[in-house]
Amino acid sequence: MSEDASLDDFLGGESSKQSEAADADASTGGTEPTDETTSPDGEPATTTYAWSGDGAACGACGETVEQRWQQDGGLVCIDCKDWEQA
């Protein structure tokens, strides 16, 4: 028999919230969108990037672009993004 580990060996325990969501997905055949997305530690997730196929306005210069990144509480285009800012 092989000494290779199965991917199942690396799975961590699921939180009850994750288990309930997985059970609901299995029973409905898919995922349902929610109003709130949280990180694994329960904190609200932070958007760092957005993509829009139709384009959306940059929060700094107003140019319509497909890709925008988070900066100072808004989404800005690649030209307005300060990549050196922490």
What per-residue confidence (pLDDT) applies to 2? 61
Domain ranges of the chain: 49-80
Q: For each of the chain's 86 residues, which pLDDT tens digit applies?
A: 567 888 887 887 655 555 565 555 555 444 444 445 667 788 888 889 999 999 999 999 999 999 999 999 999 999 999 999 75
- pLDDT reported for residue 71: 94
pLDDT value, residue 13: 61
Which pTM value belongs to this model?
Answer: 0.50
Q: How many CB atoms lie within 10 A of CB 31?
A: 10
Q: Which residues contact 22 (CB under 8 A, 6 or more apart)?
A: 14
Helix (H) or strand (E) holding 83: none
pLDDT, position 17 = 55
